[in-house]
Structure 1
Amino acid sequence: VHEAVLTDQERLLGPDHPQTLTTRNNLATSYWQAGRTSEAITLLETVRTGQERVLGFVHPETLTTRNNLAISYWQAGRTSEAITLLEAVLTDRERVLGRDHPHTLTTRNNLAASYWQAGRTSEAVTLLEAVLFDLERVLGSGHPDTLIARDNLAAMRRSAGS
């Protein structure tokens, strides 16, 4: 469905229209969810370049694409690239959206997972503890994002033997 919509949008709106770029991002997410990681990365890198040119480097949509690209890097085992990109996205999201914005908290959670994958367990646990505290404060203890972070923290602690 995304591919057909994208074809129509490119024809009607042009390849750099913000809605076309969003649809490309959605298609990349579908690729990622289907395990087509390399295709997702290629498409997200194209989307990021277009969004940076059309919307700007720190536009919320561009930040979402940069976050999604980092997650795709993480899924592909390109952990150091994921960490570098997530650290930059986190800095930008904190500045643009604020420290407590749900998207900022998601990026912090993603960064903690990347630290964990890189074997930086102590940093991962420390960051995720802070994220969990903020998620509980901002979204509540029963929110799905809070529950996921709590589960991730338990898994990290279990793997670290603490």
Structure 2
Amino acid sequence: AEALHRRALAGREAHLGTNHPDTLTSMNNLAVLLRQQGKLAEAEELQRKALAGLEAQLGASHPNTPIMLDVLAVILESQGKLEEAEGLHRRALEGGESQLGAQHPNTLNSANNLAVVFEKQGKLEEAEELYRRALTGSEDQLGAVHPQTLQSVWNLAKLLEVKGSVAEAWHGGPCKGHRGTVDSHR
């Protein structure tokens, strides 16, 4: 997959230019793959370039900007750079709310991503609030068994366990009605 992503990026750079939106999308896609492969420094460098190009070409208020912000933030989070990741996730969430609406799936994903960082920072109340928001919105917008909804269920349940609310987590809270699905992911 990496070779194909690199080929697509090289082709787009050659034919469209480095800052064409399609080229920037290819950079973003390669950065996502590199993060998944653990090539975090290269992923970060590439995603910073993609984000800077997108903001220069289309502006900070373009609907793709929050997505690219989230990707960079997740890369930074993977490297333990939680403070910078938090700032970028906040920008992504604010951008998603203003450009796409508070209930758009991308905005809800940004809320979930920021909650993950809050949890890692020990900001458990803030994390819980955002996990609940992401779960409620995802259930409403995507349905109870959509992968994004189930990720929100799992994240909130894990947080409630950490906070000592095991009964709420597994019996009366986010996992109610999802128990079989969540158990298969444990």
Q: Give the structure-2-normalised TM-score.
A: 0.84
Instruction: Give the whole-Å Cα distance in 2 for the aligned partners of 1:159 and 1:45.
Output: 34
Give the whole-Å Cα distance in 2 for the aligned partners of 1:155 and 1:39.
31
Structure 2 unaligned regions, length at least 5: 166-186
Q: Return the index of the structure with the highest Cα Rg.
A: 2
Aligned length: 162
Following TM superposition, where does structure 1 have runs of at least 4 consecutive aligned residues deviating by more than 2 angstroms?
none
2:61 pairs with one of 58, 61, 64: 58
Aligned equivalent of 2:154: 151
Does 2:103 correspond to 1:80? no
| 3-state SS, counterpart of residue 162 of structure 2 | helix
Q: Which runs of 5+ in 1 are unaligned?
A: none
What percent of counterpart residues are identical? Answer: 38
Q: 1:5 aligns with which of 4, 8, 32?
A: 8
Greater length-normalized contact order (CA 8 Å, ≥ 6 residues apart): 1
1:45 to 39, 44, 48: 48
Once the 2 structures are TM-superposed, how far is the Cα of residue 64 of structure 1 from its aligned partner?
1.1
> Which is further off, 130-139 or 81-90?
130-139
List per-residue Cα deviations over 1:61-120 (Å, max 9, x = no partner): 222111100111111111111111111111111010001100000000001101001111
Query: Could you state the TM-score of these two structures normalised by the residue count of structure 1?
Result: 0.96
1:133-148 residue pairs with structure 2 within 5 A? 133-148=136-151
State the AA in 2 paired with 1:103: N
